[in-house]
Amino acid sequence: MWALISLACFPIVDYVLRLLPIVGSIWDKLILLGLALIAVYRFVAGDRFERLPYHRVMIAFLALGAAYVAIDLPFFAADFEGFRAVYWYMLFVFVLPFVVRERETALQLVRFSLYAGLLISLHGIYQYIVKTPIPPNWIDAGESLRTRAFSLFGSPNIMGSYMILLFPTAVGMAWSASSWRQRILFGGIALAAMMALLFTFTRGAWLALFVALVITAALIDRRLLILILVAAVAAFFIPKIHTRVTQLFDPLYWMKAAKDGRVYRWLLAYDVVRNNPFFGTGLGHFGGAVAARRFNAMYVDNYYAKTIGEMGLVGLFAMLALFWTVMQNLYKRIFKPLRSRPNWPLLAGMFAGLLALLVQNAVENVFEVPAMNFLFWFYVSLLVILTRTGDTHTVDTSLTREEYTT
């Protein structure tokens, strides 16, 4: 159980263990190996894997990535590292639902992920209060900001992506709670996450969360749209948020973005893919951490642009097909029988968080960060477990004495 809890607290555990030699780079691999061995043992004992619609698409996407590595053997090291960055954490999707059989366990893992998120949120709030020094390029010219929250991620943009996953999940957990103590606890986590998100001053995360909440609210009850719009308008009139958002309508901002900012990097991806539109430059060769480390290439600040630069139109469409199939399957599992689902507000909140991450990937390399890549597939797996048919009794979201001692 402790191995699973360490996965739920992935950002903190990964940050701490990476301070240690060797251990930091293999700890998640060892856990995946252990979970795979458990899965094999249970398969031999008679358990069978739950086949999901996106498994075939994922296997095809994995095969495509392996083909990219095999074809470009002169750059095998870079290609393999690029392959690992894209595909490694997808493998948890195959073993987690096989190993974690009970909804109670899945709920406990969601709770631990929220507890870890609370610590990171409070750290980000603390950074804002004490005005932690940050690089000058994190602030646009003419802004009065003195700091931006980034916590252990080292980037306010990635900190923002973590918060847009955490916030709706915490809201859903609070909504699902059966006691006021739990509602206050998880409501407090949601409040801390929202404050930390605001203090990142990451416009892409703000917009991604807004889009995800609007879509999710429309799927649940359109009356919720009014609450979301009122909250968005109220936030817009907070001076620093207002300034940060209205800069998007400043022609000077777009001139700078086209000169050396996001627009320039997106156009660079277009220039790169023009030379090989169908298959790209190869995994690990453009727009991400591996390319920056091995070929001194710049980040493209758009995970989809990075993908089309590396894998061309074939790779991009394969990735989009995978994400579409995953979200479509989760939509059917969650929203078709929504009100009859145990803890349905939590399920909807987790769905909104995943959707927000996919939206923010359009303006940030969110999945280049191991913690964010893992948490996306981790939450997908937990949603699969929580929406299984059978065992449909309502599950209390509060921890029992037995769960504490597990």
pLDDT tens-digit series, residues 125-139: 999 999 999 998 888
- The pTM assigned to this predicted structure is 0.92
3-state secondary structure of 368: helix
The amino acid that residue 318 corresponds to is A
Where do we find the tokens 């991806």?
269
Query: Which pLDDT does position 144 carry in this prediction?
Result: 76
Query: Which pLDDT does position 47 carry in this prediction?
Result: 82
Q: Alpha helices, DSSP H only, in 72-202?
A: 76-87, 92-99, 103-129, 156-176, 180-200
* Cβ contact 283:310 at 8 Å: yes
Distance separating alpha carbons of residues 45 and 325, to the nearest angstrom: 31
Query: Which pLDDT does position 390 carry in this prediction?
Result: 59
Query: Which pLDDT does position 397 carry in this prediction?
Result: 39
Number of structural domains in the chain: 1
Distance separating alpha carbons of residues 164 and 5, to the nearest angstrom: 21
Find the length of the chain: 406
Query: Which pLDDT does position 365 carry in this prediction?
Result: 94
Distance separating alpha carbons of residues 169 and 8, to the nearest angstrom: 13
3-state secondary structure of 252: helix
* Cβ contact 177:183 at 8 Å: yes
Structure tokens at 99: 């190993």
Phi then psi for residue 384, to 5 deg, are -60, -45
* Structural domain boundaries, residue 280: 2-404
Distance separating alpha carbons of residues 340 and 271, to the nearest angstrom: 50
Nearest to 309 by CA among 377, 376, 368: 368
C-alpha pair distances (Å), 317 with each of 8, 70, 144, 300, 393: 30, 20, 41, 18, 39
Q: Which parts of the chain register pLDDT below 50?
A: 391-406
Nearest to 244 by CA among 255, 231, 235: 235
Q: How far apart are the first and last CA of the chain?
A: 7
Q: Alpha helices, DSSP H only, in 102-155?
A: 103-129
DSSP string, 296-347: -PPP-S-HHHHHHHHHHHHHHHHHHHHHHHHHHHHHHHHHTTGGGSTTHHHH
C-alpha pair distances (Å), 254 with each of 139, 140, 239, 257: 15, 12, 21, 5
3-state secondary structure of 167: helix
